[in-house]
Chains A and B, each alone.
Chain A
Amino acid sequence: MNIIIPTSLVIISIVYSLIGSTYKSDVHSDPLGAGLYTVFLGILLFILSLILLIKSYAGRKNIISKSTREILFDKNSFKISIFLILYAISIKYIGFIICTVSFFCVFLHLFKIKPKIYILYSTLVSVTLYIIFVFLLNTPLSDGLILPDTSIYRYYMPWN
Chain B
Amino acid sequence: MDLFNNLILGLSVALEIQNIIFIILGVLWGIVAGAVPGLTAAAGIALVLPFTFYMESVSAMVFLAGIWTGGMYGGSITAILMNTPGSIANIATLLDGYPLHKKGESGKALSIALVYSSFAGILTTFLLILLAEPLANYALKFGPAEKFALTLFGLSAVSSIAGGGNLIKGLISCSLGLMISTIGSDFFTGEERFTGGKDVLLDGFNIIAILVGLFAFPEILKQVANFNYSKNISIKFNYQFASFKEIVICIKSGLIGSFIGMIVGIMPGAGGSIASLIGWSEAKRWSKNKDDFGKGTLEGVAASESANNADIQGALVPTLALGIPGSVSATLMLSALILHGLRPGPLLFTQRPDVVYGLFGGLFLSNIFLLIIGFFIIKSAIKIINTNPPFLLSTILIIIVTGVFKINHEIFDIIVALIFGFLGIIMNKYKFSTAALSLGIVLGQLFEISFRQALTISSGDPLIFINRPISLFLIVLSVITLSYPIIFKKKK
Which A residues have a C-beta under 8 Å from some C-beta of B?
5, 9, 16, 19-20, 23-24, 27-34, 37-38, 41-42, 44-45, 48-49, 51-52, 55, 63-64, 66, 71-74, 76-77, 80-81, 84-85, 87-89, 91-92, 96, 100, 103-104, 107-108, 110-113, 121, 125-126, 129, 133, 137, 139-141
Contacts and interface: CB of A to CB of B under 8 A. Distances in A.
A107 B390 contact: yes
B448 A42 contact: no
Interface of B is mostly: helix
B349 interface: no
A89 B411 contact: yes
Most buried by A among B175, B395, B459: B175
B480 interface: no
B452 A37 contact: yes
B193 interface: yes
B455 interface: yes
Given A71-B429, A111-B227, A104 B394 contact: yes
B402 A129 contact: yes
B152 to A, nearest CB: 12
Which one of A34, A45, A113 has the greatest number of beta carbons of chain B within 10 Å? A34
A48 B172 contact: yes
24 contacts: A23-B186, A31-B460, A32-B455, A34-B186, A34-B188, A34-B191, A34-B193, A41-B182, A45-B179, A48-B175, A49-B172, A52-B169, A72-B426, A76-B227, A77-B222, A80-B397, A84-B397, A84-B418, A92-B411, A107-B390, A108-B390, A111-B229, A113-B388, A125-B398
B365 to A, nearest CB: 25
Contacts of A76: 224-225, 227
Contacts of B239: none
A111 B390 contact: yes
A141 to B, nearest CB: 7
B459 A41 contact: no
B351 interface: no
B418 A81 contact: yes
B8 interface: no
B267 interface: no
A48 B171 contact: yes
B401 A129 contact: no
Contacts of B221: 73, 77, 80-81
Nearest to B169: A52
A52 to B, nearest CB: 5
Given A38-B182, A45-B172, A107-B397, A133 B188 contact: no
Interface in B433-492: 448, 451-452, 455-456, 459-460
Interface residues of B, number: 55
Contacts of B418: 81, 84-85, 88
A74 B225 contact: yes
Q: List the 3 shortest-distance A-B pairs measured between CB atoms, nearest first.
A: A31-B460, A34-B186, A88-B414
Interface string B191-224: 1011000000000000000000000000001101
Interface string B237-265: 00000000000000000000000000000
Contacts of A44: 175
B405 to A, nearest CB: 7
**At the interface, is chain A mostly helix, strand, loop or mixed?**
helix
A72 B222 CA distance: 9
Interface string B385-419: 00011110111011101100110010100110010
A16 B186 contact: no
Contacts of B169: 52
A135 B188 CA distance: 42
Contact of B390 (A9, A66, A92, A113): A113
A146 B227 CA distance: 35
B72 interface: no
Contact of B455 (A31, A63, A64): A31
A141 B422 contact: no
A126 B459 CA distance: 59
Contact of A64 (B224, B394, B430, B456): B430
Contacts of A20: 182, 193
Given A32-B455, A80-B224, A103 B175 contact: no
Given A28-B188, A111-B389, 15 more contacts: A5-B426, A30-B455, A34-B188, A37-B452, A38-B179, A44-B175, A72-B429, A76-B224, A88-B401, A88-B414, A89-B411, A91-B405, A91-B414, A103-B397, A107-B394
B131 interface: no
User: In this complex, which of B221, B394, B409, B414 has the most chain A Cβ atoms within 10 angstroms of its Cβ?
Assistant: B394
Contacts of A33: 188-189
A77 B224 contact: yes
Contacts of B88: none
B425 interface: yes
A6 to B, nearest CB: 9
A100 B399 CA distance: 10
B423 to A, nearest CB: 11
Nearest to A71: B429
A52 B402 contact: no
B25 to A, nearest CB: 14
A22 to B, nearest CB: 10
B401 A84 contact: yes
Contacts of B166: 63
B372 interface: no
A137 B54 contact: yes
A46 B371 CA distance: 50
Nearest to A49: B172
A139 B402 CA distance: 10
